[in-house]
Amino acid sequence: MEKKWRIYNNINTGVTYSLQQELGVDRVVASLLVQRGITSFENSKVFFRPELSQLHDPFLMKGMKTAIDRINTAIEKNEKILIYGDYDVDGTTSVSLVYSFFKQHVKQIDHYIPDRYKEGYGISFQGIDFAEENNFSLIIALDCGIKAVDKINYANERKIDFIICDHHLPGDEIPKACAVLDPKQSDCNYPYKELSGCGIGFKLIQAYSIQNKLPLQSCYNYLDLVSASIAADIVPVTGENRVLAHYGLNIINSNPRPGIKALLNTNQMKSVVTITTLVFVLGPRINAAGRIDHARKAVELLICEDETEAAELALAINDTNAQRKDLDLGTTQEACEILENDVLIGERNTTVLFNEKWHKGVIGIVASRLIEKYYRPTIILTESDGKATGSARSVKEYDVYSAIEKCSDLLEQFGGHKFAAGLTLKKENVEAFKVKFESIVSSTITKDQLIPKIEIDLELDLHEITEKLVRILKQFAPHGPENMMPLFCCRNVFDTGWGRIVGANHLKLELFQKTNPNIRFQAIAYDKGDYINFFQRKTPMDIVFKIQENEYKGVTSVQLLIEDIQVSTLG
């Protein structure tokens, strides 16, 4: 699928030049910093040198003092405390963090993860019933609860207090919990709004440590879990999240907890762990427990203190992930076959597929895979409890949640955000929903929104890729939303004649520009072997790429990781 290139370049050359002079860096580094909102020496210092002292006072968060007072009261009265969290990576890391921390201070404590299929997302009536039956009087809910008005009322009737620690957008009514911690509340003055659910859990234990005069290092030991949640939940890696992710990755790379170490060892990860590792290696495996089996197994792994036991748990979760992969790929193939046989596929702006036999745990992944291939708002539905339930994913610039909301008359329930949502409806309403959803999307989406875009930071020439630039670019990590790994464009490149296809269909090249023919870089372009003929014919090409270091037989060299290729517009 052809993609549209959008080059950011520079919006303010004056600011860029001033920063360039102030920092003593080249225009590439200065431009990248300005794009990230960094326009002064002080901003740059904070960006390049994350410090734990940059973390905000947790008591700035609305409800924090009330939450800590309630926890202290529970401990003094020897109440039973239940740590409750969702079944995804953010939820399970949140539960693991808060449970492990308070286990040292609370005599009667347990954790609870709802069953994905029997209870669904967030706080459930079954979970509250479990608490009542087992005499828990305080529940700390993590990564969920901000819209659970009816569930909290149900708990209040049973004399069970809730502390909600959530990071999702609140609804019109805030639940009547003992305390609600969510910086996205309109009247919360906490300076940073983009914490993950696990990040909110960290602020809770940070506040408890401050209030009870405990060493803060006892909190910082859990930042590995916070960094995993930041990576998997795709929150911005800016401000406080950047600090948390930086120190969390340091822990994982120096002294990982047994569960994380076991997962890395099981997958033979020997290189430095980055946000990318967490997203593509740890995240899917932790998630697989909740998708295929039960997410409490992920919590058991993450709180495990024995390396032998952790190794066994990691192997089991790895096997579960293998099952998830098979289901994911099989379902994706079935979905693609349906679409390829659809004679009206070219006339539609949406994809809505329903199959009663598809596994509920992988339909969100399948929706994402279909967008990669067909690039249009997509909903995949399966049967659960006699109803059609599904996951929606959207293209980059379109609000799929708003479109689903306009179909609410056909839905039993729905929730989510701009680019991802979940929904449930009666099976007899599926066809009507397909028609209405297609109509609404078609009337509100533009042709341009249906073209995939590559957002390019900067256009540069190969001679600008120096050792100093590579060294500074490494300090831009950790990467993630709003601080992605820089993506560059270079025009009019040629292969030296060394280029060849390797593996299944990957392109290995040695590139140069005629303006500086002696400056050459090796490059790899995955799944782009079809372009070999252009390079062999000496056709000038434009490339979009990331700069990375490649280690081979103990030798480290700079390599260009090519994301896209086009025939040069300058040739």
Looking at residue 369, which CATH number applies to its domain? 3.10.310.30
Burial annotation 463-488 (CB, 10 A radius, 16+ → b, else e): ebbeeebeebbeebbbbbeebebbbb
**Shared domain check, 462 and 384:** no
Secondary structure of 439-508 as H, E, C letters: HHHHHHCCCHHHCCEEEECEECCHHHCCHHHHHHHHCCCCCECCECCCCEEEEEEEECCCCEEECCCEEE
Host domain of residue 167: 58-316
What pLDDT shows up at residue 416? 75
What pLDDT shows up at residue 309? 97
Nearest residue to 146 (alpha-carbon basis) of 117, 118, 116, 179:
179
Domain assignment of residue 11, yes or no: no
Question: Are 355 and 363 contacting, i.e. CB atoms less than 8 angstroms apart?
Answer: no
Q: Tens digit of pLDDT per residue, the chain (571 long)?
A: 789 999 986 666 889 999 999 999 999 999 999 999 999 999 999 999 999 999 999 999 999 999 999 999 999 999 999 999 999 999 999 999 999 999 999 999 999 999 988 888 889 999 999 999 999 999 999 999 999 999 999 999 999 999 999 998 898 999 999 999 999 999 999 999 999 999 999 999 999 999 999 999 999 999 999 999 999 988 999 999 999 999 999 999 999 999 999 999 988 877 889 999 999 999 999 999 988 888 999 999 999 999 999 999 999 999 999 999 999 999 999 999 999 988 777 789 999 999 999 999 899 999 999 999 999 999 999 998 899 999 999 998 999 999 999 999 999 988 777 888 889 999 999 999 999 999 999 999 999 999 999 999 999 999 999 999 999 999 999 999 999 999 999 999 999 999 999 998 999 999 999 999 999 999 999 999 999 999 999 999 999 999 998 877 778 899 999 999 999 976 5
Domain assignment of residue 334, yes or no: no
Give the β-pairing of 500-502 and 506-513. Answer: antiparallel
The pair of three-digit structure tokens given for residue 118, joined into one six-digit string: 């029997």
Question: One-letter amino acid identity for 567?
Answer: V
Domain assignment of residue 219, yes or no: yes
What pLDDT shows up at residue 230? 96
Alpha-carbon distance 391 to 399, whole Å? 14
Last residue of a domain, one of 421, 450, 479: 450
**Shared domain check, 478 and 436:** no
What pLDDT shows up at residue 571? 55
**Shared domain check, 353 and 252:** no
Burial annotation 446-458 (CB, 10 A radius, 16+ → b, else e): eeebbeeeeebbb
Query: Which stretch of DSSP H or E encloses residue 228?
Result: helix 223-232
Question: Are 82 and 112 contacting, i.e. CB atoms less than 8 angstroms apart?
Answer: yes
Last residue of a domain, one of 393, 421, 450: 450
**Shared domain check, 441 and 368:** yes
pTM of the model: 0.91
The pair of three-digit structure tokens given for residue 100, joined into one six-digit string: 């492990």
Question: Are 378 and 349 contacting, i.e. CB atoms less than 8 angstroms apart?
Answer: no
First to last CA, the chain: 23
Domain assignment of residue 491, yes or no: yes
Phi, psi of 523 (to 5 degrees): -145, 155
**Shared domain check, 169 and 128:** yes
**Packing angle of the helix pair 13-23, 41-48 (nearest 10 deg):** 70
Domain assignment of residue 13, yes or no: no
Last residue of a domain, one of 450, 482, 513: 450
Question: Are 82 and 111 contacting, i.e. CB atoms less than 8 angstroms apart?
Answer: yes
Exposed, middle or buried: residue 148 (CB in 10 Å: 0-12, 13-18, 19+)?
A: buried
The pair of three-digit structure tokens given for residue 239, joined into one six-digit string: 């401000």
The pair of three-digit structure tokens given for residue 85, joined into one six-digit string: 């969290």
Sign of CA pseudo-dihedral 409, 415, 418, 420: negative
Say whether 420 sits in a helix, a strand or coil.
Answer: strand
Say whether 120 sits in a helix, a strand or coil.
Answer: coil
**Whole-number Cα distances in Å, 359 to 87, 290, 415:** 16, 12, 20
Question: Are 357 and 365 contacting, i.e. CB atoms less than 8 angstroms apart?
Answer: no
Domain assignment of residue 321, yes or no: no
**Shared domain check, 517 and 434:** no
Domain assignment of residue 336, yes or no: no
Phi, psi of 387 (to 5 degrees): -120, 165
**Shared domain check, 507 and 374:** no
**Shared domain check, 387 and 476:** no
What pLDDT shows up at residue 550? 83
**Shared domain check, 363 and 500:** no
CATH number for position 543 = 2.40.50.460
**Shared domain check, 461 and 445:** no
What pLDDT shows up at residue 554? 77
**Shared domain check, 377 and 477:** no
Domain assignment of residue 48, yes or no: no
Report long-range pairs for 180-185 (Cβ below 8 Å, ≥24 apart).
180/62, 180/63, 180/145, 180/146, 181/61, 181/62, 181/63, 181/64, 181/67, 182/146, 183/61, 183/62, 184/146, 185/62
Say whether 522 sits in a helix, a strand or coil.
Answer: strand
Question: Within 10 Å of residue 62's Cβ, how many Cβ atoms?
Answer: 19
Residue with tokens 């399948």: 366
List all residues 6 or more positions away from 162 whose beta carbon is below 8 Å from its beta carbon: 123, 138, 139, 140, 141, 145, 152, 155, 175, 177, 178
CATH number for position 206 = 3.90.1640.30
**Shared domain check, 414 and 370:** yes
Question: Are 26 and 177 contacting, i.e. CB atoms less than 8 angstroms apart?
Answer: no
Phi, psi of 164 (to 5 degrees): -95, 125
Query: Which stretch of DSSP H or E encloses residue 513?
Result: strand 506-513
Domains of the chain: total: 3
